[in-house]
Copies of this chain bind each other. A is one copy, B any other.
């Protein structure tokens, strides 16, 4: 017996991994399971079709049927069958269980089961356990003002929305990490199984520790069809499928219910047989898991062949066999609403009435429409109910991270630019303490890039978890059976694991090359939507933010050049609701530390942090960094050349580390060549500050923006990403017409850093030319200087082509205050570790 105590939740008492004698089901238990299943199926059909007359106490009339029939039937009876059987074993074994349904479009089924086990009425008090509540339950489904047709944040017990398919296993393993007593029963649709993310998700079992992590039980729901096609895995020989599952590291258990019409003389016999067979199989599977867990508890850290179930049942099982002469149950025609024209004719209405009647509601609900008590008893108690598990409402279990004081990890900055650091390496030192202080609720995920992104200091505090074969220390550096870092070359897995980990109440971050983060654009979408919706669901408690650390960013793809991608993930992110997205571009190491501390403390956001990993100058002391990050943007007085009390001639702004460096170098040139020019230097860490406060909660007011950026002076903005994003964020600002943005243009291949910024016209010389072009007082009197700048670009380009490296004037540049101290530049030759 173990007890999980959470600060904010009732204690969940479980007897994890109990072995139970495998005895045949009693007739009574068969009956109760069958009637639960029938009740769930009835409620599912009712939700899809019925507007009224929930218990069919009067003959079904056209008006009882919804005018627009929306939803998905095909996968639902299978999900219901599994839920009923899991109820039994959870109760018998007191096994804490979360139920993940890859086929999330089977929403009616999950809602039906939550209603049957009482959770639904507890949360939504208007949906009572009687006929009127049932009427409301039916009516609200996929109805204007009601609930979504898919599994959604509104669905109790869910951490996995319907919609995009493919993430069931990733979410499942994310939920299982560091939850050693949790069973994650994971239904994988055979359609979903064809997606890339799911296909590689199987391999997550090589990164899951049998003692320290929970158990994922994959249930491959082989109902044979997608929207309009058979599924691949249903159309290969069983032996081939068995090989595939064995190859994925599983021990497959096969269960099959053929698509036969019921025997008219004994219509329930086939189902009773199915229940008995499946119950026996499920007992075997759970006993098998219990054995593995016992061996692991005894110190066996080898990777077991984890059980999985191939659950081959007819699509739309128990629905009408044929409709209008066409095969329906057991075919793709059952995928969605098989009787989409139920209101059209008396015959169709009759088909629906017969279908509903086939569940014999009178054997399931009493006169009030309440589930009969002996059926209700099938459900486990309290939070052992899958719909009520706190693991599916992670905020209930969430504990604050213990965070070391990031100020203690500050790099020393005696003067701006006077020291050099690799920002992510500094962050890694702080993260080392984070993982030490939070050994069971914080993880770092990455697609084989944690070291490349120079977070390797964390390996002083932890290892990379690896449950596949080990060879030896000569090649297996920092690999261990348990570790806070989880890596696999799949951005989909990293994202899905982190989502599952956060949704079950923990903390973490995903470090990734900026160039490849677009791989999970659609997954980010789904998670951001989930956060947005849960903000409006009072019973869902806030969860930790999803934190990205995008390094090896697009300005330093020295090894890779144009084969790598772009900074457009930021654009993608800011399309989402302002309530849930934050984008940070810390210009140096101390600002990165301050930013990340803030991110790890935050809730319900997606935080995107972009930071370089190459040696680069530090500009702000920690005190300055904290102030700057708290403001989100600000004037760097030490960098500008304004005269207090007068307007500047030009504002030079920068967001991002490389743009900040180039913008400062441009200011340096301007100070030398145009000492009278009054330059204001603005740095932006929190991109959302640029937006109006009516559009984003972090947005500056119009007055504050105008004060900083002026309303009439030219603004030259050096930005990390695509320039138009800055225009988009600021197009309502008074001075927008004066704004000139330099950013990423994605031009060709290059292999030296300064070449890269020149190719994109973001270099210091070009920024000086921009100032000359835009400050009215300069103009033709600076024609010579302008030409000098153009010549410098040509010389720099020529130098790289002859020397293969950047010109010393650029490479050795340091900020004037550092020059005075005799500081050496960061240089640009560092090429170690940024592999792909």
Residues of A participating in the B interface, judged by any CB pair closer than 8 Å: 51, 66-72, 104-105, 142-150, 152, 161-166, 191-192, 194-203, 206, 225-232, 235-237, 240-249, 326-327, 330-332, 335-337, 340, 448-452, 464, 466, 468-471, 474-477, 479, 487-493, 515-516, 518-519, 521-522, 525-526, 529, 533, 558-566, 568, 571-572, 575-577, 722, 724, 727-728, 731, 746, 748-752, 755, 797, 800-801, 803-805, 829, 831-832, 835-836
- The 7 listed contacts between A and B (C-beta, < 8 Å) are A68-B558, A104-B563, A144-B801, A150-B561, A196-B492, A244-B248, A326-B474
Pairs of residues from A and B, 10 with the lowest C-beta to C-beta distance, nearest first: A244-B247, A196-B196, A163-B563, A199-B200, A243-B247, A235-B468, A144-B800, A199-B199, A518-B522, A194-B489
Nearest chain B CB to A341's CB is how many angstroms away?
8
Which residues of chain B are within 8 angstroms of A449 by Cβ–Cβ distance? 227
B831→A70 contact, CB < 8 A: yes
B526→A565 contact, CB < 8 A: yes
A203→B194 contact, CB < 8 A: yes
Q: Which residue of B lies closest to A165 (CB)?
A: B489
A247→B246 contact, CB < 8 A: yes
A150 to B565, CA, bound (A): 13
Using A148-B749, A571-B572 as known contacts, list a sample of 19 further A-B pairs with CB atoms less than 8 Å apart, ordered by residue number in A. A70-B558, A70-B751, A105-B560, A143-B804, A144-B751, A144-B755, A145-B801, A150-B563, A191-B448, A195-B196, A195-B491, A206-B236, A229-B466, A230-B466, A235-B466, A244-B246, A518-B522, A525-B566, A533-B562
A474→B331 contact, CB < 8 A: yes
A727 to B725, CA, bound (A): 11
| Given contact pairs A67-B829, A206-B235, A245-B247, A476 touches B804 in the complex (Cβ within 8 A) | no
A227 to B448, CA, bound (A): 6
A562→B804 contact, CB < 8 A: no
Nearest chain B CB to A549's CB is how many angstroms away?
16
A746 to B577, CA, bound (A): 8
Which residues of chain B are within 8 angstroms of A475 by Cβ–Cβ distance? 225, 230, 327, 330-332
| Given contact pairs A236-B469, A561-B142, A68 touches B490 in the complex (Cβ within 8 A) | no
Nearest chain B CB to A692's CB is how many angstroms away?
12
Which residues of chain B are within 8 angstroms of A516 by Cβ–Cβ distance? 164, 522
Nearest chain B CB to A172's CB is how many angstroms away?
15
Which residues of chain B are within 8 angstroms of A801 by Cβ–Cβ distance? 144-145
Which residues of chain B are within 8 angstroms of A69 by Cβ–Cβ distance? 831
Q: Which residue of B lies closest to A247 (CB)?
A: B244
A452→B228 contact, CB < 8 A: yes
Which residues of chain B are within 8 angstroms of A560 by Cβ–Cβ distance? 105, 148-150, 162-163
| Given contact pairs A225-B475, A558-B68, A752-B68, A194 touches B566 in the complex (Cβ within 8 A) | no
> Which of B194, B466, B565, B831 is A490 in contact with, Cβ under 8 Å?
B194
Nearest chain B CB to A136's CB is how many angstroms away?
13
| Given contact pairs A144-B751, A475-B332, A568-B575, A468 touches B230 in the complex (Cβ within 8 A) | yes
| Given contact pairs A751-B68, A804-B144, A232 touches B203 in the complex (Cβ within 8 A) | yes
| Given contact pairs A227-B451, A246-B247, A562 touches B196 in the complex (Cβ within 8 A) | no
Which residues of chain B are within 8 angstroms of A575 by Cβ–Cβ distance? 566, 568, 571, 722
> Which of B142, B145, B232, B326 is A206 in contact with, Cβ under 8 Å?
B232
B572→A521 contact, CB < 8 A: yes
A246 to B243, CA, bound (A): 6
Which residues of chain B are within 8 angstroms of A750 by Cβ–Cβ distance? 144
Which residues of chain B are within 8 angstroms of A229 by Cβ–Cβ distance? 448, 464, 466, 479, 487
> Which of B244, B492, B572 is A572 in contact with, Cβ under 8 Å?
B572
Which residues of chain B are within 8 angstroms of A195 by Cβ–Cβ distance? 196, 200, 489-492
> Which of B164, B192, B476 is A519 in contact with, Cβ under 8 Å?
B164
A727→B722 contact, CB < 8 A: no
| Given contact pairs A68-B805, A199-B200, A245-B247, A563 touches B152 in the complex (Cβ within 8 A) | yes
> Which of B206, B227, B232, B722 is A835 in contact with, Cβ under 8 Å?
B227
Q: Which residue of B lies closest to A139 (CB)?
A: B804
Which residues of chain B are within 8 angstroms of A566 by Cβ–Cβ distance? 525, 575
A731 to B801, CA, bound (A): 38
Which residues of chain B are within 8 angstroms of A518 by Cβ–Cβ distance? 521-522, 525, 572
Chain B CB within 10 Å, residue with most, of A192, A232, A529, A568: A232
| Given contact pairs A165-B489, A166-B196, A247-B245, A565 touches B522 in the complex (Cβ within 8 A) | yes
A803 to B65, CA, bound (A): 11
Chain B CB within 10 Å, residue with most, of A51, A244, A247, A477: A247
B835→A161 contact, CB < 8 A: no
Which residues of chain B are within 8 angstroms of A165 by Cβ–Cβ distance? 489
